[in-house]
Structure 1
Amino acid sequence: MILGITGAFGCGKSSVLAVFSARGWRTADADRLCHELYAGGSELAADLVKRWGAGILLPSGEVDRRRLASIVFEDQAELDALTALLYPRLAGRLDLFIDECRRDGTDAAIEIPLLYEAGLDEKFDAVAAVWSAPEIRRERLRRKRNFSEEEIRRRESRQLAADLKLERADYGLINNGPPEELARQINLLIDQLHCHNI
């Protein structure tokens, strides 16, 4: 089983991935894969500098993701340009990971925030969307990640609405309560997925 995990900004996708990992699933995180692609001296970093200049680099030569986000989330054309540079490379990394899991017969869960936006849902046997109420998501983002209300609004405006992600997914996980309740839902989902695989 290769499961895609998606959801809106701040809904707790990483927490979901951690439970899958604890249950013995192989996991991957698109944000982490992107972070590797943004490394100093990478082909992607060079292409990004050609587009937006050396001001998007940290002193280490790595791409300053916060600076880049402040550019692309202001303008849809800039976001589209980033997507065109980044997502083919990300898709290639995902394909390698998925192929390896399928060869090994290993269950895997992969977190991809923009799974539907990037048209990557066809790569998965099923998709689970994580959903949280808007006020809960915004509070998490302000408290844990120090995002301003304006930055949250800008990013959300460039993504598929949380309700639509939930509607399109094969499974839904509601993350409005304590971690134990989220873990209970995930464990039920894993048991259900294993039953379907028998």
Structure 2
Amino acid sequence: MRIVGLTGGIASGKSTVSNLFKASGIPVVDADVVARNVLKKGSGGWKRVVAAFGEEILLPSREVDRPKLGQMADGSIHINWYLLEILKQWAKGAKVIVVDIPLLFEVKMDKWTKPIVVVWVSQETQLKRLMGRDGLSEKMPETE
């Protein structure tokens, strides 16, 4: 089985590339989806994270504050969850699996993936895409 790493910055076009793989019948494990599912309020992953990091890791809604968790934890805590999803696809008979992980190198998943596809666009294009996607403007909001 070949595990292809797919990475790139925000609004770089990873989703477009990911959809091309999916359209070709290649399974894609999306790290963001895996992380959201693993950390759902009340789930086993949620309970383990709260036990490890305490209640301060939670938002007022009792959901895990994922950015805060990312700052507090070694990125490798997600590796087992990603690998579990990869193994599920392998068990279904997939010969090639794409793992879409924006922070591929930071969580050291690059040692598990070959080849690695990096999606890159110019900073200008990235900013334009991000503003269009999230309804943002380039102008900074005024402060009091």
TM-score (norm 2): 0.76
After TM superposition, the runs of 4+ consecutive aligned structure 1 residues lying more than 6 A away are none
Residue in structure 2 matched with residue 11 of structure 1 by the alignment: 12
Map 1:131-170 onto structure 2 (within 5 A). 131-146=120-135
Residue in structure 2 matched with residue 96 of structure 1 by the alignment: 84
Change (3 A) 1:31 1:53: closer
Q: Percent identity?
A: 25
Change (3 A) 1:53 1:125: closer
Q: Secondary structure at the match of 1:41?
A: coil
> Which structure carries more helix by proportion?
1
Size of the alignment, in residue pairs?
135
Residue in structure 2 matched with residue 115 of structure 1 by the alignment: 104
Which segments of 5 or more consecutive residues in structure 1 lack a partner in the other structure?
73-77, 151-198
Q: Secondary structure at the match of 2:42?
A: coil
Aligned: 1:80 with 2:80: no
For 1:148 and 1:114, how far apart are their aligned partners in 2? Answer: 26
The Cα shift of 1:141 comes to: 1.3
The Cα shift of 1:93 comes to: 2.0
Matching residue's letter, 2:21: F
TM-score (norm 1): 0.58
The Cα shift of 1:99 comes to: 3.0
Matching residue's letter, 2:25: G
For 2:135 and 2:34, how far apart are their aligned partners in 1? Answer: 23
Which segments of 5 or more consecutive residues in structure 2 lack a partner in the other structure?
140-144
8 Å CA contact 1:101–1:107 kept in 2: the answer is: no
The Cα shift of 1:36 comes to: 0.6
Q: Secondary structure at the match of 1:110?
A: strand
Change (3 A) 1:115 1:128: same
For 2:128 and 2:22, how far apart are their aligned partners in 1? Answer: 26
**TM-superposition CA deviations, 1:138-157 (whole Å, max 9, x none):** 1211221245769xxxxxxx
8 Å CA contact 2:29–2:86 kept in 1: the answer is: no
**TM-superposition CA deviations, 1:8-30 (whole Å, max 9, x none):** 11101111111100001011100
CA RMSD of aligned residues (A): 2.8
